[in-house]
Amino acid sequence: MQRLKYIYILVFFSSINFLYGQDPQFTQFYSNPMYQSPSFAGAVEGYRVSLNYRDQWPALPGKITTASFALDYNLAGFNSGLGIIVMRDKLGSSNLTNLNVGFLYAYNIRISRKIFFRPGLGFYYFQRSFNPEELISSSMIYGQQNNGSITSPFDDEKLADKTQAADASVSGLLFVHNFWIGLTADHLITPNVSFTEKVSRLPIKINLYGGYRFYKVERLISTKKQSITIVGALRHQGLADQMDMGLYWSYEPIILGVWYRDLPFIKDFSRRDAIALLVGYKYMNLSVGYSYDFTVSRMITNTGGAHEISLIYKFDVEQRKKFKPIPCPMF
């Protein structure tokens, strides 16, 4: 039974490129802000560089690894922000690889002294590829005795080893003092990601997120700021729905956080996924974060959880026009 279980897992990851695709996810999505929303492009004083790496389910064959690099700049004189993001993820025993290169733009609108709105646009080049020599057919697993009752999605299929397409996204972000709420719609073009003659389009992803930060200043001891930030995100893509709820405690230079991933308030759709713990450290302009996802679903003993590392560096640049940064958490 143990061997059969891993055969099924292996077949699943080997054939995942024929399923309706879902986007990679990051536990520290505020440390990868431009993947979260184009509205975050340039939402910082000066330049910002971010690196993110996620190793998901390392105990399973065909684990999922995702890496991203992003650079953005605040054009305060034009009330605008520019950004570029490059993301690559690999999964499955057939080395299914997704590559995304995006160019982002955001515009800062001042509604009142404390209320700001940032609409954003993203334009992307998307490429998906795999190694056909690593695919596993049903006959390779069950031998010639297989009477055809058990098949894999790629049996007798004519395959291409690469597909590419253009894509786009739109977003809006409203922030008032220490509160923010945003909405992002990704994959507006719904690109075809199939390797066969059949059409398999990447579904539009809707991401609703927001949070509130409470500050406490230790006036009698030091000028360090202590804060608690409550955050949440709700995502919908195709047949998949997910909610993330989290809490950050920050006392410079330390940041601690805890997340829970589920749909707890929608009983029919509740599917316990993971509890994530995070620790971060900020040294001058450099911020480093590490998080670990503890699987709490039925796969609790099989996945090995998920490791995630983030690096963010901000370059200070003098600007004539003052800019108000968005009060989102660093991680």
Residues 235-258: what's their mean pLDDT?
Answer: 90
**Which domains does the chain show, CATH number per domain?**
2-14+22-140+161-315 (2.40.160.40)
Q: List, in sequence order, the alpha helices (H) in 143-215.
A: none
Residue 188's pLDDT band, with cuts at 50, 70 and 90, is: very high
10 pLDDT band (50/70/90 cuts)? very low
The residue with greater pLDDT, 160 or 245, is 245
Q: At 76, is the secondary structure helix, strand, or coil?
A: helix
* pLDDT > 50? residue 1: no
Higher pLDDT: 77 or 1? It is 77
Q: Give the span between the Cα atoms of 307 and 298, in whole angstroms.
A: 19
Q: Is the bond preceding residue 253 a cis peptide, omega within 30 degrees? A: yes
Lowest mean pLDDT among 13-22, 80-89, 99-108: 13-22
**Which pLDDT score, from 0 to 100, does residue 215 have?**
80
| Buried/exposed code over 19-41 (b: 16+ C-beta within 10 A; e: otherwise) | eebbbbbbbbbbbbbbbbbbbbb
Question: What are the tokens at 231?
Answer: 């955050």
Report, as an integer, the average pLDDT of 51-78: 89
What confidence tens digit (pLDDT) does each residue in 110-144 have? 999 889 999 999 999 999 887 766 665 555 555 55
pLDDT at 4 over 50: no
Q: Find all residues with CB under 8 Å of 246, minimum gap 6, and list them.
A: 230, 231, 232, 257, 258, 259, 260, 276
C-alpha span between 12 and 302 (Å, rounded): 15
In this prediction, residue 236 carries a pLDDT of 92
d(CA 41, CA 47): 10
Whether pLDDT at 53 is above 90: yes
Q: Is the pLDDT of residue 285 over 80?
A: yes
Whole-number pLDDT of residue 303: 74
Decide if pLDDT at 145 tops 70: no
Look at the chain and count its residues: 331
